[in-house]
Structure 1
């Protein structure tokens, strides 16, 4: 006879199941697909049971978003090219970001669509995890900007990310015009290489 399952194990299993279901729903239909009643029905639990494991739906969303950031980080890490020159390395990182976003649009969009109440705060662990993505850009910036301080490189990495994300977001959302992915990749490459050349220029 199998030993009885402890209450802690049951709670852990339900928490994991709720996170798995929420992740699948967001991956398929974005944040709009995440409804508490539908989630409880699929998990086979009461509506109140959700809030025994997560204080609110925001906390559940952050649990899913943490998984999304892990996947995005893995994709970008694979493209980092440790031995590559700085400019091609930043370009490879940027194109990897675009390709992952294009292949995972609902869950990528959810990273930026999630809005908290004015008095709510982003969990510190999630904020730190999100910030770690910038380390990929900071590494090649060390070679491009050898005289810059760590704080200056961090600020520049965030600026480069903002530029890349803006191009990716406008292109994938087709807010200005319809842009096929190959054309969007070419646009992104032109901008990123121009930025890198500008940073590398003396003076």
Structure 2
């Protein structure tokens, strides 16, 4: 089987190299302080090459969000649409998969970056809401509604329950990317253990005998 020439492989890799360089600089310096030419230099390409793929710094940011977050939401939505079984099992599986794919690594860094920078860039904040927050809430809300219609869940307030599902993940992401490399606030439990405790509490409640 023929293989791509080194030059072609290098060209194909450039978009990801540029995204990796942009993310590293956004974390180091902040979105506002990072210049496009710095991203190009970090990736080892000319500024014109950067603009060929991403015409502006805003487009770089949007591509990072799509690459690291939006794609996983779409995959989860496709999985949910084909699933036929207990919704509680699917919710647990999706929460664990979400942490494995998003909570750690670059995707979690992007989330943390957005939470610190969004208020200064309303247009990018709106983009993040449209691409990440709203689809995530719609996905989880739809699953809860399916469980209610099937008689598996009681009639809980759907929007509030979605926030109860998401909030611990955001907390763990902020903790991971703020204190994860330091000993000042050591972990006493693994993220998966915390997720399991959260889902058990959410699905079964705290009372030994529910009233």
- Equivalent residue number for residue 203 of structure 2: 196
TM-score, normalised by the number of residues in structure 2: 0.62
Q: Aligned pair in 2 of structure 1 residues 123, 167: CA closer, same or farther (>3 Å)? A: closer
How many residues are paired up? 180
Q: Which moved more, 1:59-68 or 1:88-97?
A: 59-68
Aligned mates of 2:63, 2:118 — CA distance in 1 = 14
Find out whether 1:187 has 2:194 as its counterpart: yes
- Equivalent residue number for residue 113 of structure 1: 113
> Which runs of 5 or more structure 2 residues have no equivalent in the other structure?
1-10
Find out whether 1:140 has 2:143 as its counterpart: yes
- Equivalent residue number for residue 89 of structure 2: 88
CA contact (8 A) 2:92 2:199 kept: yes
Q: Aligned pair in 2 of structure 1 residues 49, 194: CA closer, same or farther (>3 Å)? A: closer
Aligned mates of 1:48, 1:83 — CA distance in 2 = 45
- Equivalent residue number for residue 8 of structure 1: none
Q: Secondary structure at the match of 1:43?
A: coil
Q: Aligned pair in 2 of structure 1 residues 136, 197: CA closer, same or farther (>3 Å)? A: farther
Find out whether 1:32 has 2:28 as its counterpart: yes
Aligned mates of 1:134, 1:19 — CA distance in 2 = 29
- Equivalent residue number for residue 127 of structure 1: 129
Aligned mates of 1:126, 1:88 — CA distance in 2 = 28
Q: Which moved more, 1:162-171 or 1:188-197?
A: 162-171
CA contact (8 A) 2:118 2:125 kept: no
> Which runs of 5 or more structure 1 residues have no equivalent in the other structure?
1-13
Aligned mates of 2:106, 2:77 — CA distance in 1 = 21
CA contact (8 A) 2:19 2:64 kept: yes
CA contact (8 A) 2:102 2:108 kept: yes
Aligned mates of 2:71, 2:24 — CA distance in 1 = 16
1:141: how far off? 0.9
- Equivalent residue number for residue 7 of structure 2: none
1:66: how far off? 1.9
- Equivalent residue number for residue 159 of structure 2: 154
CA RMSD of aligned residues (A): 4.1
